[in-house]
Amino acid sequence: MRAALTRPSRPVPECATGDSGSAVELALAALEPALRRAARRLTRDADLLDDLIQEARICLWELDPTRFDLTNTSDLRYVCRALINRMWAGWRAEVGRGVP
């Protein structure tokens, strides 16, 4: 009887949570090969190539991939265009400073 009285009632379900910050890593993993190919067309310099990829990562972080459905062609095209434009801008800035 006492055991029945002290038995805990149904467990309270925890509120399911999510974090949109981790979506950037997932999107990067999917997009990075294409970004690397695009960056290689701009430069052969390994350091500059890494800098351009880094620019694209920052751009993706600012865009927030959770607002896009990357399986959708038009969304994917928009994101790739934005990231490549950002790499172009980075490349032009570096070339302006005399980096090959």
Partner 1 sequence: MTPNSRRSTAAPWPGYPRGAGGRWRRWGCRVPIPGAVRGGPHEQTEENRSGWPVPQAATAEDFAKWGKRLGLLRTDVTPGDILLQFNPGQKAFVRAGVVVRVLAYGWWTPNRPYVDVESIEGDAGPRGELAGGEALRVARRLSPRTGDRFLRWSEAGRGEGGDAAGEAA
Closer CB to partner 1, 23 or 56, in the complex:
23
Please report how close the Cβ of residue 3 comes to partner 1 at its closest, in angstroms.
33
Instruction: Using CB under 8 A, list all residues that contact partner 1.
Output: 15-23, 26, 62-69, 72, 74-75, 77-79
Four-residue CA torsion sign, 42, 44, 48, 49: positive
Q: What's the alpha-carbon Rg for the chain, to the nearest Å?
A: 23
Closer CB to partner 1, 35 or 49, in the complex:
35
Nearest partner of 78 among 6, 100, 86, judged by Cα? 86
Closer CB to partner 1, 40 or 72, in the complex:
72
Helix (H/G/I), strand (E/B), else coil: 9: coil
